[in-house]
Chains A and B, each alone.
Chain A
Amino acid sequence: MTDSTVGAPAQPPAQTAGLASGGAGSRRFRGARNYLALIPFHLYLAVFLILPTLIVAIGALTTADGTPTLDNVTVLFTDPTVVDAFVYSIQLSIATAIAGAVLGGLLAWAVARGKPNGLLRQFVIAASGVLAQFGGVMLAFAFLAAFGFNGLVTIFLRDTLHLDLLTDATWIYGFAGLVVVYTYFQIPLMLIVFLPSLDGLRQEWYDASASLGGSSGSFWRHVGGPILAPSFLGALLLLFTNAFSAYATAAALISQGSPLATLQIGASLQSEVVIGRENVGKALALGMIVIVSVVMVIYALIQRRASRWVR
């Protein structure tokens, strides 16, 4: 199938003649054949991206035997467990998006002030690339190794400092724990997303502001701040969806109950199917798609504004 991508555009004679006669004109040649080469790509995504999405969307609006119904979707607004899970997910996502954006933004600033090709920069970027993908089982275990009942920090506080602070290691499974764990992968993502915007701030702008009588404060208030604001806001939204979509970390960390929307979906796939609620999982999934899509659309609008200024 992939071979045809390469093989499909066999040139008809007429087109070859066109090519020989003029480069620019031939480049705009709009034969249908040009589009044929893109079919494998579209076909693939149709099967493995669009079709699953449709299965979710249609399933959410039908019963197990295919009759249209709004019952599944209604569950999103009436079942207290589901409603709580979405609220909890949203709260967690907002909290970790803000924490990640602030800490990651500061880290990006510290890196941007350093040497352009310095070791620190290379190291932080490579580490961020890995750690941003680090959510999941491994991250959960890392935090258990640090803050679990037998974790390094827990033992250190209890046995060396004799502080009874975190001895009860269950906090890591609660909201505070999830915030601390999630923020861990939000910071590197923020760095990766925000660093280009900081790099885009030109030395000339700072110098121009200074030469016109501006202090560092007036530069950030009138120039740097307004220029970075859309990128920062966009990053905040991106971090929100990142936390909102996360499943593996919470799944590995939390063994009791399903306090998050993603965990609810996971549970609906794994547990016994209750008659009449076969497609509730799909409704939950649809709910997530809707929330993430709305956020991503806002993100795209903001990003368009941001990219207008910085070239």
Chain B
Amino acid sequence: MTVASPAIASNGHGVGVTFEDMHRWYGSVHALNGLSIDIAPGEFIALLGPSGCGKTTALRALGGLDEVDQGRILVDGRDITRVPTNRRNMGIVFQAYSLFPNMTARDNVAYGLRLRGVDRAARKKKADEMLDLVGLAAQASRYPHQMSGGQQQRVALARALAIEPSVLLLDEPLSALDAKVRRQLREEIRRIQIMIGITTLFVTHDQEEALAMGDRVGVMSAGRLEQIAAPTELYDRPKTRFVAEFVGLTNRIPGTAANGSVTVLGANVPLLDGSAHSGAVFALVRPENIRVVATQDGGARVAAVSFLGSLCRAQVTLPDETLVVAQMSAAEAGDLQPGTAVRVSVLPSPVFAVAD
């Protein structure tokens, strides 16, 4: 299953995609509010945001399933804003249940080829290759209702790729699956995407998924793009308050800001651009940037400890009753137990601060 056929691999040149100042209103709701993104050829972009933030609207606009009221969409330099869906040649994988229930897996995959007038034998060959690519060669004759959710989504992926689309659109394809299958499938999707080199837009509300899969991750809120950056950059150096609060776990710890840094729990930590920069603030500190040391005169107390395999997360109550979460390796956690007196400090990596 891991051996890609030459036919598929040779399709390995992605195209660039550009969103230019896109707007979309649903009645009074401004679903897209000046969205602009440049996607490089072959790039995997994950759009992340809470429900209703416009990420799905953006994907549907690119797929031609929804119109934009203003702005342009360019693919490979060509304006496709007014091109109907069925002439865009984009592969779309939907959330769930998008397989045609009256067709076998093979017929589903072959559907796009059938519409393109490919003859029966060639279509079957290609469909079987695609099913092989997603590891379902043996299930070719099954109907969707005879397959698991994960298998159905693999078939949907094969179907989308069978037409050799210019862009691959993934609309929360994993959200209906259970955790284990989801993790497995996301790695597989990424592997296939890299192998084919197809430009991909992936929409999700699951940040772990977005950070794990995307070359770059775009965070959206209320129809706007808050920040688009590589996963580590997004995580370590959020540009806006929304991103800082939405991506990853954060603690809100009171501190005092002045001159580009903030004093929090006795440590002086540099502030990121866009932070509140003076007076009493809350510093948004990542759990892994909080250090907890067991000591009799600590003043803080461990409230609970949970082990997550190699990692360990401790909830600690500060003297002022603020509850903070710290993350450390299991070894560092040592013999922390509920009730242990500890001292809490903050590592000096830059943080985002908010005024309220």
Contacts and interface: CB of A to CB of B under 8 A. Distances in A.
The answer to whether A and B touch directly, with their CB atoms under 8 angstroms apart, is yes
Interface of A: 202, 204-205, 207-215, 218, 222-223, 226-227, 308-311
B86 A215 contact: yes
Given A207-B92, A222-B111, A309-B145, A212 B163 contact: yes
Contacts of B99: 208
Given A212-B86, A213-B112, A222-B100, 12 more contacts: A204-B96, A209-B111, A210-B65, A211-B86, A211-B160, A213-B87, A213-B89, A214-B86, A226-B102, A227-B101, A227-B102, A309-B101
Contacts of B156: 208
B116 interface: yes
B25 interface: no
5 contacts: A202-B97, A204-B98, A210-B84, A212-B91, A215-B86
A223 B145 contact: no
B116 to A, nearest CB: 6
Interface string B254-280: 000000000000000000000000000
Nearest to B165: A211
Contacts of A223: 100, 102-103
Contacts of A210: 64-65, 84-86
B159 interface: yes
A249 to B, nearest CB: 38
A207 B60 CA distance: 10
Contacts of A215: 86
Nearest to A204: B98
Interface in B51-108: 63-65, 84-92, 94-103
Nearest to B96: A204
Contacts of A211: 63-65, 85-86, 88, 90-92, 160, 169
Q: Which 8 A-B pairs have the closest CB atoms?
A: A212-B112, A204-B98, A309-B101, A210-B85, A211-B92, A213-B115, A226-B102, A204-B94
* Centre residue among B96, B115, B169 by max chain A CB count within 10 A: B115
A308 B143 CA distance: 10
A195 to B, nearest CB: 18
B109 to A, nearest CB: 10
Contact of A207 (B65, B91, B96): B65
B164 to A, nearest CB: 11
Contacts of A208: 92, 94, 98-100, 156, 159
B111 A207 contact: no
How would you classify the secondary structure of chain A's contact residues: helix, strand, loop or mixed?
A: helix
Contacts of B90: 211
A213 B86 contact: yes
B98 A202 contact: yes
Contacts of A227: 100-102
Contacts of A205: 98, 100
Contacts of B85: 207, 210-211
Contacts of A222: 100, 111, 114
Contacts of B163: 212-213
Contacts of B63: 207, 211
Contact of B98 (A207, A213, A214, A309): A207
A230 to B, nearest CB: 10
A207 B163 CA distance: 15
Contacts of B84: 210
A232 to B, nearest CB: 14
B100 A308 contact: no
A202 to B, nearest CB: 6
A157 B283 CA distance: 83
B100 to A, nearest CB: 5
A306 to B, nearest CB: 10
Contacts of A308: 145
B294 to A, nearest CB: 44
A208 B155 CA distance: 12
Nearest to A310: B101
Contacts of A310: 101
A251 B111 CA distance: 53
A222 to B, nearest CB: 7
A213 B116 contact: yes
A210 B156 CA distance: 14
B89 A311 contact: no
Contacts of A202: 97-98
Interface string B117-153: 0000000000000000000000000000100000000
Contacts of B98: 202, 204-205, 207-208
A311 to B, nearest CB: 7
Nearest to B108: A208
Nearest to B114: A222
Given A213-B163, A214-B115, A207 B94 contact: yes
Contacts of A311: 97, 145
A150 to B, nearest CB: 50
B69 to A, nearest CB: 20
Nearest to A223: B100
* Centre residue among A208, A309, A311 by max chain B CB count within 10 A: A208
Contacts of B88: 211
A210 B66 CA distance: 12
A212 B98 CA distance: 12
A218 B115 contact: yes
A218 B88 CA distance: 16
Nearest to A211: B92
A96 B329 CA distance: 75
A209 to B, nearest CB: 7
Nearest to B112: A212
Contacts of B100: 205, 208-209, 222-223, 227
